[in-house]
Amino acid sequence: MKNVLSNFTSVIVLIYAWLQIIFLGGFIIENILLYPNVFHDVPHSVEVTSEFLQVTSPGTYFPIIGMSVIGAGIVTLIFTWKLKNIRGWILGSLIVFILGNFIFSVIYAWPRNIILFEEGAAVHSTVYLQQVANEFITGNWVRVVTSVTTAILAFIGWMRFYRYKMTIGERSTEK
């Protein structure tokens, strides 16, 4: 039974690290491919982007993957709680993710998204929209650093768990 639980935990830790890396990859692609086009000629480029992103957008993708990361992180934390050497890495990645990608987004990025993409030039001047776009881009680097940090912490947690499992496996074959 312990072996089954250990194998299940291995899968859970791997899924969590994988989701963190998927989130990071999506975020990097968004920053490299999408944002330069979105913010190159505010407010016109924002209007064109809003027209283009009618069916799906980053706002469709990131809440789903973000909640998946948090859910998988909580499950991973539960299954690795007794393993101090691993718990800290998983807990750290989860806390940094929640603070830097969720709470920071709600407090900082989402209000700017409303100003840029919902209210736009109909409510605000071009100068103000350009200022908000610059604030969004600057604040977005906080989320980039957070995403890199959480992916690294989750990956280290997975590597530590893998090493722990291999050490346990070596001990059981020596008996």
Mean pLDDT of successive 10-residue stretches along the chain, which has 175 residues: 75 96 94 92 92 87 94 97 94 98 95 94 96 95 95 97 82 54
- pLDDT at position 165 is 87
**pLDDT of res. 38:** 93
Cα distance between residue 121 and residue 58, in whole Å: 21
Distance between alpha carbon 102 and the CA centroid of its chain, in Å?
8
**pLDDT value of position 3:** 72
What pLDDT, on a 0 to 100 scale, did the predictor assign at position 155? 97
Residues 118, 51: Cα–Cα separation, whole Å: 12
